[in-house]
Amino acid sequence: MGDQTIFAAIDLGSNTCRLSVKSLRNGIWKVLHAYSFATRLGTDLTKGNAFDDSALRRTVHVFAKYMKIVNLYHPHHMRAVATEACRVADNSHRLCETIRKEHNVHLDIITAEEEAYLSFCGCFSYINPRKSYAIVFDIGGGSTEVVLVENDTERKRMTVCKTLSLPFGVVRLTDDYGQHIPRVLENIRHHVRDQVLTCFGQHFLKNISRNHKLQLVGCSGTATTAAGLALGLPVYDREQVNGAILRRTQLLGLENYLLDSGKLLLGSLMKGSNLTLVPPGLAILLGICDACPVPSVRVVDQGVRDGVIVDLALKHKLLQLPYEIIRSDQKDNQLIDKESLAG
């Protein structure tokens, strides 16, 4: 294959397990295989704090299918990661051990901070370089990761300044509230807004928004579903969703799906959407938008699995970027504090 390098990544989330196989040649990526399957690993996790046997069997079965695919490509570099469900489950070690024994794969349970970083890595190429800051968010099944990124064009680097992990995910909320979830959607939305404002600073967010320095980027999961709804797509179409810009008016239009349960019952969502998971996801998304008063949101159909591959390429020095990516623990100053005091 010449100078082609092949990467594989598996992202095991609370609701979905995602696989991606990509090749890199002369700085150009090519998707060789991408697949997602709803394992529902985190379903009912909050009731017993442990995976049930059926969820474990489903997940191990999916790993078996994925590894057959991966082995066809003989990747040079591979990594499998697990997120919120495995962070909180008492028996996640059982799942990791089974996967290691049966497939010789180390399943790495990553921290919320690393999950946020990898989400950012998965969609950083869609960040507008003319904006000084970006809020990147990933609404998952068990949690929501939000990261503040500073874009320093003079130094040619992007710095992950601060991350926020919210224990709100579409599966977790659906399990917690069940049929009563319509009653708590506004509370969820307000709580998310308040948490984002508290973490990143109300004055800071207002200041950089007013000065047109802030952008919002939503990756994977709920963000892409919301884009499909806002665009009126009858069937999900990645080509139309990936990189789409949703205006504030389109986002506010999504409130109808929170207020009018009849739309859900009539199945007016895109084919293939899980109706029960959409309302809590939209409540979280709108809460983030409430905290960040910007005119639009860019939606990217890429996430942790893509970030894993980018991170692997960077660590092995196989990918050169026009700027440097710096994690928060590598920073030499706190630019967020300086900016928040200006104006």
61-71 per-position pLDDT tens digit: 999 999 999 99
How many Cβ atoms from other residues are within 10 Å of residue 115's Cβ?
Answer: 27
Write the pLDDT tens digit of every residue in 207-228: 999 999 999 999 988 899 888 8
Per the DSSP assignment, residues forming a β-bridge with 37 are: 17
Share of the chain above pLDDT 90, in %: 60
Show the tokens assigned to 1: 């294959």
Reported as half-sphere exposure (CB side, CA atoms, 13 A), residue 311 has a value of 23
d(CA 55, CA 45): 10
pLDDT at 90 over 50: yes
What are 208's two structure tokens? 């950089």
Query: Count of alpha carbons within 13 Å of 149, Cβ hemisphere only?
Result: 32
77-82 and 107-109 strand pairing: parallel
| CA-based nearest residue to 183, from 192, 193, 173 | 173
Q: Report how far residue 214's alpha carbon sits from residue 300's, in angstroms, rounded to the nearest whole number.
A: 17
Q: Indicate the residue type of 136.
A: V
Residue type, 150: E
CB 121 within 8 A of CB 306: yes
In DSSP terms, 166 is beta-bridged to: 144
Residues whose CB falls within 8 Å of the CB of residue 208, separated by 6 or more in sequence, listed in order: 132, 133, 214, 339
107 contacts 96 by C-beta, under 8 angstroms: yes
Beta-carbon-side half-sphere exposure of residue 252 (alpha carbons within 13 Å): 8
pLDDT in tens, 23-45: 999 889 999 999 999 898 988 77
Confidence of residue 194 (pLDDT cuts 50, 70, 90): very high
